[in-house]
Amino acid sequence: MKGFYIRWGGLILVGLWIVAVGTQRYNRDVRPLTPEEVLKNHSPGPVRMLGMVDAGSLRKDTATSQILFSITENGQRIPVVYQGKDTDNLRELKTLVLVGGWDDASQRFVAQDIALIPNYGFIIAAYLVMVPLALFLFMMERRVRLLYNEIKQSKLYEPEVREFE
């Protein structure tokens, strides 16, 4: 049974390592920043910023053909200039994720793209099904080992004694 528990311990360590690497990648590449974090760090980008388009702020600059608006999240407002492709997703009062960076010269967040709002809570919930699945497999394997041991101890395979030899 010792080898069995060591193997499962190794599997748990591998699982924890995958979770740690996934969390690290999420925090580094995927997690959207708040306008407050962008202003604080002056992130030149490319970063993702989550917020809601302010009511009445959306307008198009006819001279430069750029779209200007401001984003609000938790009471913090940040001016944005959007330079990406035209999209129907850009509407007032809509919460969205902007991909771009802070521009110190213009004092605006320059966005090149609009990304989907991630549903990571649901994704993690779906992957958590693997936990009871692993537990189910562990219980079955453990039962097999215990049954083997029990059969061995009961000497099921002991050869019969021939009395007349």
Partner 1 sequence: MYVHVPFASTSMAAYAVLTVASLWYLWKRDPLIDNLAHATAGVGVFFTSGALFTGSVWGKPTWNTWWTWDARLVSFTILLLILIGYLMLRTFVEDKEREARYAAILAIVGAVDLPIVHFSVEWWRTLHQPLSISQRGIAIAGVMLYPLIFMSVGFYLLLTYMVGVRTQMLYLKQLLEAKKGRLLGEVHL
Q: Using the rule CB under 8 A, is 164 a contact of partner 1?
A: no
- Distance separating alpha carbons of residues 84 and 102, to the nearest angstrom: 15
Considering only residues 64, 122, 159, 164, which one is a binding residue for partner 1 as defined by CB under 8 A? 122
CA–CA distance from 25 to each of 18, 33, 60, 86, 120 (Å)?
10, 14, 36, 30, 13
Element (H, E) at 89: none
Our finding on whether 125 is near partner 1 (CB under 8 A) is yes
Binding of residue 141 to partner 1 (CB under 8 A): yes
SS3 45: coil
Backbone angles phi, psi at 72, to 5 degrees: -125, 140
| Least Å from the CB of residue 83 to partner 1 | 25
Q: Is 120 in the site for partner 1 (CB under 8 A)?
A: no
**Which residues would be at the binding site for partner 1 (CB under 8 A)?**
119, 122, 125-127, 129-130, 132-133, 136-137, 140-141, 143-144, 147-148, 150-151, 154, 156
